Structure 1
Amino acid sequence: MPGGRRGLVAPQNTFLENIIRRSSSQPDSSFLLANAQIVDYPIVYCNETFCKMSGYNRAEVMQKSCRCAWMYGELTEKEAVERVDRALDHHLADQFEILLYKKNRTPLWLLVHVAPIRNERELVVLFLLTFRDITALKQPIDQDDPKGAGLSKFAKLARSVTRSRSVLVSALPALKEPQRQSHLAHVSTQPHHVMSLSGDVLPQYRQEAPKTPPHILLHYCAFKAIWDWIILCLTFYTAIMVPYNVAFKNKTSEDVSLLVIDSIVDVVFFIDIVLNFHTTFVGPGGEVVSDPKVIRKNYFKSWFLIDLLSCLPYDVFNAFDHDEDGIGSLFSALKVVRLLRLGRVVRKLDRYLEYGAAMLILLLCFYMLVAHWLACVWYSIGRSDADSGLQYSWLWKLANVTQTPYSYVWSNESDGPELVNGPSRKTMYVTALYFTMTCMTSVGFGNVAAETDNEKIFTICMMIVAALLYATIFGHVTTIIQQMTSATAKYHDMLNNVREFMKLHEVPKALSERVMDYVVSTWAMTKGLDTDKVS
């Protein structure tokens, strides 16, 4: 189960990712993204190449207008400025040359592409402005010029080649239409034309699911969501049954049904491991990671070991092992490792904690779960003391009260006396749960009490833990109930204040009734919300 971001996150918007990936293949490509829904179109993103080219850092560029008026100078042509304004104000795609100035006021000739980006409703939501430095093409080479004379032969050759290439591009409109279309189709595949204004080349600003290999599942797809809820329910089942099975040592023939159910749970957990090796996750930067190698590496580092220990068939091992003090007891103890999966449950339920009713139910469930765990430990201590021959433990007294006393029988397997008979398993569990609940709620009827030293030590520890748990949980419960009733309390308090005001100022009865009707109807529509504060 991925963390709390879609799955947890909404499908990633791949527009900016595509733009960055395409621009990274060409080091000299610079671009700006601007919000087309806000006045003056503020810049919301600029790449590092633009910062290096203009001399401004990113903090100085962000939130400024994408008209780049802060880069205009005395030689910037008004016609170019008008084309910028026309393209932005009328949501037009355009390409033109403009003279701008760097931060140190060095002139900079740029070839600018303006592209309006539309969403799925065909509304222009962003402007993409791409820039290409053509300053070298705007500086003529003059052999008599002392600056030109200082150039090396290699520099002159490079400039002449670049200029020849620019002349070829500028001559494209004069070509025949078939030749022009063929050339543009070829050019659009070149690295320096990936920012083309063509609709089939420009990425779409829409909610797009990331592309994944065929055998990789998106962590927020419908199948994975249903599967996560199945694992969630089975984890709760595990949290209840594992302590119970460990305490009561369920491995006899009468527990075949539980053995079958636990085996099915083990198989489902194993399938979950396989699926986790083929499920995307949200990376530290918020991106959806779909690379199989990265997914496997991340899973190995996170939950793989715990999930592997959780799906081992301990109950099957115990069913065929008759040595209570051997490997079977070790497997019974290792089953407790499955409780570590509750950490994933907490992450899954984190999004529901903002709802008061859901929070209340979760707190009560957690309180009962802790009481269940302590009841299993309480029974294990009583059983251990009874097996040791302490006939005044709580289990021995329970057996006498229910008239189902224990007795000792010589066992050849254990080479000593073995405790048999006694109360039924249901009676022992219900009594243990009753005792832990009375202690945790500080009721303490005393009809079930700690008698042996081990039982008294455990009871002391349980009282300390229960006091903290009781204060924490029911403190939250009080807060939640107050929040749930706060609107009603506010409503009645407001009505009382209005009545007191009208009574104090002796408002006529007819007018007071109209005022009360107005107050009640206004509350019914607004539910006490202050629209000015919300907006």
Structure 2
Amino acid sequence: MQSSGLNPEVLPYYRQEAPKTPHHIILHYSAFKTIWDWMILILTFYTSVMVPYNAAFRSKTIGDIPLLVVDSVVDVIFFLDIVLNFHTTFVGPAGEIVSDPKIIRMNYLKSWFVVDLLSCLPYDVFNAFQHVNESISSLFSALKVVRLLRLGRVARKLDHYIEYGAAVLVLLIFMFVLIAHWFACIWFTIGDSEARAGISYGWLHRLSREVGPLYYYSNTSTSPPHWEGGPSSTMAYATALYFTLSCMTSVGFGNVSAYTELEKIFSVFMMIFGSLLYATIFGNVTTIFQQMYSTTGKYHEMLNNVREYMRLHDVPKALNERVMDYVVSTWAITKGLDAQKVLDYCPKDMKADICVHLHRKIFTEQPAFRLASDGCLRALAINFTTSHCAPGDVLFHQGESLDSLCFIVSGSLEVVQDDEVVAILSKGDVFGDLFWKECNVVQSAANVRALTYCDLNIIKRDRLLEVLDFYHAFALSFARNLTLTYNLRHRVSQSFTVLFNLLHNQIKL
């Protein structure tokens, strides 16, 4: 039977490739996009403050070139944001990150594109021209309110901003003041329209009689009859904001009040809405502060529990101080974070990658691991644990089961045998037992005590033997290249102890 050969060039080549994001696509969680979103947030609040004020007080951009330039620059930045949104990834319905340019564009066109586009139109440029018909000018001034649609950008990114407790508190307070600002602009618009209609008992007319200038009726040949004068824009706005804030906070001093029907109707609506808003925002302040200081609360709760436990069981003072020192120093490093719980969130492959990164120092500095394959290192990393020790902590007591191999990452330890220091261990040293050469578990022949704050990477005997049994080639290299600084299986002779003490005393001198 003749077998036919296959041309390798026509055979499909299968391999697993990590998904790649096109170069012109921006990741929605990138640092650049985060900074850009915060800048858009600031500019959005600028717009939400200035647009109602300009519309209410009929500020003409003509003759106010700096304001026109600033608003034009803001419009350009918001237009650039539209362009960036066409090139920014988003999270799909199934939780996947969508990076396909066509899908991104269609999704944006169907969602926020129209709103963002309407908020970017240069209404100030239109209004900068002198119109023959005053109604056209008023129309363009009113159209500037459309820019408040930019607040939609904040709404759809709110889940991103609420990750920061302090930012949430600032946003809530600013939102309360912002709504009071809007109400103040509406309150002034009501008073101004009624004052210019000749209603002399409105709040603006009363304010003009108290602080001046007074309203007066102008009837000249060059213009139709109308009311002019009244308080300055600064005084009118300050009074309006004072009134709205006093109503929304349920204070209501009464020195500024509603007099006309329209003013009273608006005041009733503002009081109802303001009370609900006040309760919603400031009712959550306590919760926000609790979230901001939750870690500090856990820390003090833990310290109180430890102190109460020590007092309840009458723990000796020396041991009590050691425990408190260990608890405080450990918290300073971990901030109360349960590392194992974080690793449990991750799948096995990702967990192994994190563990390799955490123990990278011993893998790169210890000659015993240099010939280990990637799979072998991952198997070892998962079984390693990190231990933090405070001065005075005893890692091994004489007579305890010797079931761990320890690698010193930082700090110094002493080995004590029969109340005599027989060795000083420091960064890069390894102590324990040669498990791969011995078949039984023995008792430790000495105490190992921390002299300073120490960090160690530790692997249990059973876990290490499992890895060595599976990776035979690595087992031979590991046994040949690992140098055990101190073997706790064996006792040190008395003559060696005397020699070590002499050398140790010479070093001190």
What TM-score, normalized to structure 1? 0.55
Matched, 1:452 2:260: yes
Partner of 2:10: 187
- Counting only pairs closer than 5 Å after superposition, residues 494-509 of structure 1 correspond to structure 2 as 494-496=302-304
Partner of 1:320: 129
Matched, 1:330 2:139: yes
Q: Aligned partners of 1:510, 1:274: CA distance in 2, in Å?
A: 66
- Counting only pairs closer than 5 Å after superposition, residues 151-300 of structure 1 correspond to structure 2 as 167-169=3-5, 183-184=7-8, 186-188=9-11, 193-195=12-14, 202-204=15-17, 206=18, 208-210=20-22, 217-218=25-26, 220=28, 228-251=37-60, 253-274=62-83, 276=85, 283-284=92-93, 286=96, 288-292=98-102, 296-300=105-109
Q: Aligned partners of 1:229, 1:505: CA distance in 2, in Å?
A: 53
Contact preservation (8 Å) 2:61, 2:124: no
Matched, 1:399 2:214: no
What percent identity do the matched residue pairs reach?
Answer: 61
Partner of 2:359: none
Matched, 1:469 2:277: yes
Contact preservation (8 Å) 1:281, 1:290: no
Q: Aligned partners of 2:305, 2:231: CA distance in 1, in Å?
A: 63
Q: Aligned partners of 2:90, 2:317: CA distance in 1, in Å?
A: 66
Corresponding residue SS for 1:407: strand
- Counting only pairs closer than 5 Å after superposition, residues 322-471 of structure 1 correspond to structure 2 as 322=131, 326-410=135-219, 415-418=224-227, 420-471=228-279
Give 1:486 deviation, angstroms.
Answer: 3.8
1:445-497: CA deviation from partner (whole Å, max 9, x where unpaired): 22222222212211111111111111111122110112333444444455555
Contact preservation (8 Å) 1:279, 1:290: no
Unaligned runs of 5+ in 1: 1-162, 173-182, 196-201
Letter in 2 for 1:373: W
Give 1:417 deviation, angstroms.
Answer: 1.8
Q: CA RMSD in A?
A: 3.4
Partner of 2:117: 308
1:209 and 1:461, CA in 2 relative to 1: closer, same or farther beyond 3 A? same
Q: Aligned partners of 1:232, 1:502: CA distance in 2, in Å?
A: 51
Corresponding residue SS for 1:312: coil
Give 1:310 deviation, angstroms.
Answer: 1.7
Q: Aligned partners of 2:84, 2:295: CA distance in 1, in Å?
A: 46
Letter in 1 for 2:20: E
Unaligned runs of 5+ in 2: 345-509
Q: Aligned partners of 1:502, 1:324: CA distance in 2, in Å?
A: 85
1:307-361: CA deviation from partner (whole Å, max 9, x where unpaired): 3322222223223245676222222222222212211223334223122112112
1:275 and 1:357, CA in 2 relative to 1: closer, same or farther beyond 3 A? closer
1:233-255: CA deviation from partner (whole Å, max 9, x where unpaired): 33222111111111111116443
Match of 1:478 among 286, 290, 308: 286
1:295 and 1:488, CA in 2 relative to 1: closer, same or farther beyond 3 A? closer
Q: Aligned partners of 2:307, 2:86: CA distance in 1, in Å?
A: 66
Partner of 1:20: none
Letter in 1 for 2:245: M
Letter in 1 for 2:4: L
1:218 and 1:488, CA in 2 relative to 1: closer, same or farther beyond 3 A? closer
Contact preservation (8 Å) 1:385, 1:393: yes
Contact preservation (8 Å) 1:282, 1:289: no
- Counting only pairs closer than 5 Å after superposition, residues 14-25 of structure 1 correspond to structure 2 as none
Letter in 2 for 1:416: P
Q: Aligned partners of 2:338, 2:85: CA distance in 1, in Å?
A: 46
Letter in 1 for 2:291: Q
Give 1:383 deviation, angstroms.
Answer: 0.9
Aligned residues: 341
